[in-house]
Amino acid sequence: MTELLLDDEAGRVRAAALLRGGALVAFGTETVYGLGGDATDARAVAGIFVAKGRPRFNPLICHYPDAAAAFADVEANEAARVLAAAFWPGALTMVLPRRPACPVALLAGAGLDTLAVRVPAHAGAQALLRAVGRPVAGPSANRSGQVSPTTALHVMHELGGRIAAVLDSGPCRVGVESTVLDVSGARPVLLRPGGVTREAIEAVVGEIAVGAPIGPSSPGFPSRGALKSPGLLASHYAPGLEVRLGAVTVAADEGLLAFGVPLAGAGVVFQLSAAGDLTEAAANLFAGLRWLDANGTGMSRIAVMPVPMEGLGLAINDRLSRAAAPRA
């Protein structure tokens, strides 16, 4: 059962409690409805991908009540500060480097060193974010492949029965997604056109470049091969060690990414899920790859135990096969 909550004090208190407890709550913003989950809770973030039925881990936008809260988690440069002053709160999402102490789960950013952050202008969304007191990861609240919802009823049609609640704040004023701008480099790059126009951005920071968003079809989506393409390097994460998939035995010079009962004999082991739980495994995936990279000194590669091709296993295997793709 999905609760339909009114966007009033009581509704927001309930929604915030659900979010803080790790449940998923869709909420209205001025652009489109977001499928919210506590961004610092990797299991809640994994649940977002389950609810959306996404076969791949796209990086998600993290929502904050104000710029100060956002810039506590990412490093703002001069351009980011100027853009925030001009367009926040509003329909602009900025991609910036994560701070070392950023509490957002690696899965929310699909393992990248950068994070997409946004301060929505909608008063109800802001009040909700303040009540939650943590960043809220929120892709558009539709099933994978469907259009973004702009009313609570749309969300109910798409996700009813799959999430804890929908906070009904009426129809979305803007109706299209936020503009996604990568501000992590020397010159801002427009990754997705949206509610704030290119012209409006250029009036504030001068000429910007246009790039492709990170997504399943973009050639630069993290893979060892893609790491070789210049310009796509910085923001993409692939482990430094080679990756061997479908391991049924493991050698002493290999780091093991285990799923279920670990194979014996590995140099170091990172357990994705001892119980063989796919949500837990997804929540641990990027942390595991990074941990093995950091702790696999002297290892020749990472061996990965088979993960079943069902539910979240599709997205996990998709990401692992990108990590294992031969170097270009």
Parallel/antiparallel/unpaired status of strands 209-210 and 242-244: unpaired
Among residues 20, 22, 43, 58, the one that binds ligand TXA under rule CB under 6 A: 58
Please tell me the distance from the alpha carbon of residue 136 to that of residue 116, in angstroms, as a whole number. 12
Over the window 9 to 38, marking each residue x when it contacts ligand TXA by CB under 6 A and - when it does not, the resulting string is --------------------x-xx-x----
Amino acid identity of 170? G
Please tell me the distance from the alpha carbon of residue 122 to that of residue 28, in angstroms, as a whole number. 8
By CB under 6 A, tell whether 235 contacts ligand TXA. yes
Among residues 97, 124, 135, 138, the one that binds ligand TXA under rule CB under 6 A: 138
299: its two tokens: 């290892």
Amino acid identity of 243? V
By CB under 6 A, tell whether 96 contacts ligand TXA. no
Nearer to ligand TXA, 215 or 225 (CB): 215
Among residues 84, 152, 164, 191, the one that binds ligand TXA under rule CB under 6 A: 191
- Which one of ligand TXA, Mg ion, none is in contact with 114 (Cβ closer than 5 to 8 A by kind)? ligand TXA
Query: DSSP character for 148?
Result: P
- Which one of ligand TXA, Mg ion, none is in contact with 118 (Cβ closer than 5 to 8 A by kind)? ligand TXA
- Which one of Mg ion, ligand TXA, none is in contact with 152 (Cβ closer than 5 to 8 A by kind)? none
Residues contacting 199, CB < 8 A, separation 6+: none
278: its two tokens: 């796919």
Locate tokens 């010159």: which residue? 187
By CB under 6 A, tell whether 95 contacts ligand TXA. yes
185: its two tokens: 């480099």
- Which one of Mg ion, ligand TXA, none is in contact with 11 (Cβ closer than 5 to 8 A by kind)? none
175: its two tokens: 């109706």
- Which one of Mg ion, ligand TXA, none is in contact with 130 (Cβ closer than 5 to 8 A by kind)? none
Position of minimal CB gap to Mg ion = 140
Nearer to ligand TXA, 216 or 265 (CB): 216
Q: In whole angstroms, how far apart are CA 269 and each of 77, 82, 253, 263, 308? A: 38, 45, 11, 9, 19
Nearer to ligand TXA, 38 or 177 (CB): 177
Nearer to Mg ion, 140 or 169 (CB): 140
Q: How far is the CB of 259 from ligand TXA (least distance, A)?
A: 26
> Interface with ligand TXA by CB under 6 A: which range of 42-50, 173-181, 250-258, 268-276?
173-181
By CB under 6 A, tell whether 267 contacts ligand TXA. no
Other Cβ atoms closer than 10 A to 233: 11
Nearer to ligand TXA, 59 or 296 (CB): 59
Query: DSSP character for 6?
Result: E
Please tell me the distance from the alpha carbon of residue 25 to that of residue 2, in angstroms, as a whole number. 9
Parallel/antiparallel/unpaired status of strands 189-192 and 209-210: parallel
C-beta of residue 25 within 8 angstroms of C-beta of residue 186: no
Please tell me the distance from the alpha carbon of residue 43 to that of residue 197, in angstroms, as a whole number. 35
By CB under 6 A, tell whether 215 contacts ligand TXA. yes
Q: What residues line the site for ligand TXA (CB under 6 A)?
A: 29, 31-32, 34, 58-61, 93, 95, 109, 112, 114-116, 118, 138-140, 177-178, 180, 182, 191-192, 213-215, 235
